[in-house]
Amino acid sequence: MAVKIRLARRGRKKAATYDIVVADARAPRDGRFIEKLGTYNPNLNPAVINLDSERAFYWMMTGAQPTDTVRAMLSYRGVLYRRHLQLGVAKGAFDQAAADERFQNWLTEKDSKIEAKKTGLTDTKVETRKQQLAAETKVKEARAEAQKQKQAAALAASAPAPAAPAAAEADATTETAELAAEGAA
């Protein structure tokens, strides 16, 4: 019996989540399976992979073949690297303690990379939100300034009406004085 480690689709339309399962290669994609190893949610950033690494390692050592997508997930979680180290121990390249130490070093480094990505994403999101708020504030201030100018213009348009007759009287007085000067001459 050929055994595969593959994904089984769950969830609603356009919001799929997947179960990571061990199944007979002849079984349907979402049908019968031997064991569920975990879940995969690609809708989040970074994608969430919940995996029972011990059971996945067991199935890899007993000959189960992962699909391409699951192989990438197993590599991301270190199951393939652990299998590689275990095969090195079996061949006598190094002992079990050295293999465990190498795997733990790799695991801590990988966890720090994942955490750095998560914090980087949250920092980017916070910075983007601050920039959006600053842009909104700038637009709001520009709108308020335009409204003030509009009100000042409306006020100025209504205020000069009484001042215009006074200016006309001054012009008339000047014209009268000029006419009187011309008549006297």
Nearest CA among 17, 10, 23 for reference residue 67 = 23
User: Cα–Cα–Cα angle for 65, 12, 73, nearest 5°?
Assistant: 30
Task: Give which of 70, 62, 10 is closest to 37, Cα–Cα.
Answer: 70
* Residue 118 pLDDT class (50, 70, 90 cuts): confident
pLDDT at 112 over 60: yes
Dihedral sign, Cα of residue 24, residue 29, residue 33, residue 36: positive
**Among the listed ranges 38-52, 65-79, 80-94, 166-180, which one has the minimum average pLDDT value?**
166-180
Cα–Cα distance, 41 to 18 (Å, whole number): 6
Given strand 15-24, what is the order of strands in its sheet? 48-51, 35-41, 15-24, 3-12, 65-66
CB atoms within 10 A of CB 110: 14
| Tokens describing residue 79 | 């199951």
Residue 76's contacts (CB-CB under 8 Å, 6 or more residues apart) are: 49
Reduce the secondary structure of the chain to three states and give it as a string: CCEEEEEEEEEECCEEEEEEEEEECCCCCCCCCCEEEEEEECCCCCCEEEECHHHHHHHHHCCCEECHHHHHHHHHHCHHHHHHHHHHHHHCCCCHHHHHHHHHHHHHHHHHHHHHHHHHHHHHHHHHHHHHHHHHHHHHHHHHHHHHHHHHHHHHHHCHHHHHHHHHHHHHHHHHHHHHHHHHC
- Check residue 117 and give its pLDDT: 87
- Selected from 1.10.760.10, 3.30.1320.10, 3.30.70.20, 3.40.50.410, the CATH number assigned to the domain covering 3-93 reads 3.30.1320.10
**Mean pLDDT across the stretch 51-71?**
93
In the predicted model, what is the mean pLDDT of the chain?
86
Domain residue limits, the chain: 3-93, 95-157
Give the tens place of pLDDT for each residue, 122-163. Answer: 888 889 999 999 999 999 999 999 998 888 888 888 875 554
Over residues 71-109, the pLDDT tens digits come to 999 999 999 999 999 999 999 888 999 999 999 999 999
Query: How confident is the model at residue 177, as a pLDDT?
Result: 61
In the predicted model, is pLDDT for residue 164 greater than 60? no
pLDDT score recorded for residue 58: 94
